[in-house]
Each structure stands twice: as structure tokens, then as C-alpha cells.
Amino acid sequence: MSSTMTTTEEPVITYDINLSYHDASLEKPTIQHPEYTPTWNKVWFDKLPPFDFVDPALRANKKKPNLITSSTVIEDITPKMGTILRNVQLTQLSDRAKDELALLISERKIVAFPDQDFIEAGPAAQQKFMDYFGKRNYQPVSGSIPGYPGFHIIHRDGNKGELDAFFAQKTTSCLWHQDVSYEAQPPGYVMLGLLNGPKVGGDTVFASTSEGYQRLSPAMQKFLDGIKVRHSSANMINHTRLAGGLVRKDPTTSIHPLIRVHPITGERCIFINGEFITGAIGLKEVEWKAISDFLLQHLIGSHDIQARVHWSPRTIVMFDNRSTIHTAVVDYVDDEHGAQPRHIFRLAAMAEKPIPVSDA
């Protein structure tokens, strides 16, 4: 990424440190997987119309015999959240195993698969796999790959000037969020695949929004259960235009319950983030800010409801976007060169409209 200038020669500070706006962002394109080089093709996407969604977890065998076999090695990241499955190749999963994987993700929130030949399977196979879990999401501003616009490509290599400009105004690279929460039917299941990354650093941190809800008092839970909030992509799109980037969608705004009910586990989850929410229905700005700040700090500061995922090349991570909030950690930076190479793709499967407590 690189900072661009406005007519007043003031730098446009990056909206999201992980988000590139155009090809000029690739200052040192040392890409080990060139087929995943981000491009900004002028493709336009209309608003996704309402669709019926049947969660594959509803079809799953709860014992998961097709996913977890005698050769599977299971490691928990934390006691309540996050699982690593070894000796399981995503390329070999049957539809029944995919159903069981959806159930495991709903239960454990994060499932990591090290050393996957799925990386070499290529974009077509990866997109087909994720199509099983829901409708494709098309990111409105980020780089994608030709022929596969559902891929959200994150690439960083160097970019010292842009990093310096960012941290001159910001104290942290962390931006806690759920992916694409502004859509009417946001993603339920999300896949991340690491193509290349630093030897140390670049972790992704997740917090459990269901566990965060359980930590609140009954009185606070009851108060929050009825609040509805406005999620919008307008700020991200407006910032991208200011930075000279390509926009591929009109801004989208949706009204969602602040507390949503998970359709598989029945858990109540705080549906909040620091990126896309612009206000609450019926509340004044200062009132919503107090509630939002409290809830975000509650989730961000409660390390006992978090899981930190360490990456290695050829790792695939799938997570539940309905019951978690997450952030990338840009700590793989030095003063001389800027950021070390990090190249990752994301595929998001759109799911149900968030279920309010009143409808559960």
C-alpha cells in the first residue's frame, strides 16, 4: 500500500493497514504465488438480493465420523475456543465431512488446518469449496484475482512510507471487526489461507462474542437484547475514493440486532465492531458511543475469551464470523525495510440474516 496525496498535499491515512487500494501499492512485488497477485479490475457488483440459506451444520452428524478419523490429531488452541486439526486435507473432504466441519466451526469458532495441499489446488478449487458454505461475497474495494472476484487478497511487502504515515496518526494496527457486517446477510463461515508470511508475527487474534455476552450481568444483557444498530460500508468506500482506489459496489447499509442468536448453537452473541457500525436506532450519538466503547473494550481487553492463531505457510483457517470478532496483528515491521512479506487470501460465505433475541 502507499499513501496518496489530496489536492492540499496532505497524506491520506490508510483506512485499514491491511487494505490496499490499487496496483501502485505493490512497491516490491516479490510474490511467491503470482497467481494470487492482487489486481483491481473494473468490475461492478450490484447489491446482493435476499436469498434462502440452509446452514450445512444442520445436516451434520454430531459425532463427526467423516471429518475426524483415527488418524486425525486434535489440538485445542484454548479450552473453550479454537481447534487445530492435523492429518486432515480439505481437498479430500466429502460433503458429509464439510457438514461436520461447519458444525465444528460453529462449536469451536476457529478451526486451523496446517500444511494443506489445498493451497496448491488453486483458486477454482478453493472457491468451489467455499461455495458449499454459502453465497459468495464480493469485496467492494480490495484487490482480487482475475476470474475469481470472490477472493479478497491481502498483500504486504515493505511499504515503509505508508507505514510511517499510518503510525504517525495511529497508535495500533489492530482493527477489531466481523467481516462484511454491513451486508443484509453477512458471512457465516470465512476462510483465510496463508500463501507467504513472516517467520514470526502476523498472528490473527479472535475474541468470542458469545462468551463476552455471558460475562455481562443479566440486567445489561436484557438492555442490550433489544438494541438495533446500523452497519454501513460508506466510510470504507468514501475513504477508498479519496485515496484514489477502485470501488466496485455502491455503499451498503443494514440494520442488525446488537445481540444476535447463533442458528446452530443457540448462543447469544454481541454483534459489534470498530469498523462498520455508524450508530444505533433510537439512541443519541453520545449514548451509542458509550455503549460501543464499553462493549469493544470488554471484548478486546478480556484475554480469557480470546484465541491467538499463529500462522505458517500452507495453513488454512476457517472461522465463525457470527460468534467472533477478530483483528490482524501487524507486528512484523522493522525501521529499515518496513513490513516483511505477508500474502493471504480470504473467502467469505454469506449466510442468514442475523437473528434477534426476540425471534429466537
Question: Which residues are bridge partners to 338 per DSSP?
Answer: 334
Mean pLDDT of 183-210: 95
pLDDT one-digit tens code per residue, 258-290: 999 999 999 999 999 988 999 999 999 999 999
What integer pLDDT is reported at residue 18 of this predicted model? 54
Give the model confidence (pLDDT) of 310-348 as tens digits. Answer: 999 899 999 999 999 999 998 887 777 677 788 899 999
The pLDDT of residue 341 is 81
- For residues 205 and 326, what is the distance between their CA atoms, to the nearest angstrom? 5
Q: How far apart are CA 338 and CA 62, in angstroms?
A: 47
How many other C-beta atoms lie within 10 A of the C-beta of residue 76?
Answer: 12
CA-closest candidate to residue 267, choices 215, 223, 316: 215
Lowest mean pLDDT among 37-41, 52-56, 117-121, 256-260: 37-41
Higher pLDDT, 201 or 92: 92
157, with CB counted inside 10 A (0-12, 13-18, 19+), is buried
Tell me the pLDDT band of 156, cut-offs 50, 70 and 90: confident
Rounded distance between C-alpha atoms, residue 54 and residue 351, angstroms: 8
pLDDT at 3: 36
Three-class SS state of 343: strand
SS3 80: coil
Residues 142, 152, 335: CA angle, nearest 5 degrees? 70
22-46 tens-digit pLDDT: 554 454 456 888 899 888 888 899 9
Cα–Cα distance for residue pair 309/296, rounded to 1 Å: 20
Contacts 24+ apart (CB under 8 A), 166-170: 166/13, 166/14, 166/17, 169/13, 170/13, 170/17
Residue identified by cell 492540499 is 8
Give, in order, the Cα–Cα distances in Å from 181 to each of 21, 95, 316: 20, 27, 22
pLDDT above 90: percentage of residues in the chain: 70
Alpha helices by DSSP H, listed for 57-178, are: 95-108, 118-121, 123-131, 160-169
Beta-bridge partner residues of 154: 344
Return mean pLDDT, the chain: 89
Residue 230 contacts residue 278 (beta carbons within 8 Å)? yes
Taking Cα atoms as reference points, which of 231, 243, 232, 234 lies closest to residue 166? 243
pLDDT digits over 211-268, tens only? 999 999 999 999 999 999 999 999 889 888 887 788 999 999 999 999 999 999 999 9
**Confidence (pLDDT) at 17:** 54
Q: Which three cell numbers stand for residue 165?
A: 504515515
Can you tell me whether residue 243 is helix, strand or coil?
coil
CB-based burial of residue 273 (10 Å sphere; 0-12 exposed, 13-18 middle, 19+ buried)? buried
CB neighbourhood size of 23 (10 A)? 13
The architecture that CATH gives domain 23-353 is 4-Layer Sandwich (3.60)
* CA-based R_g, the chain, Å: 20
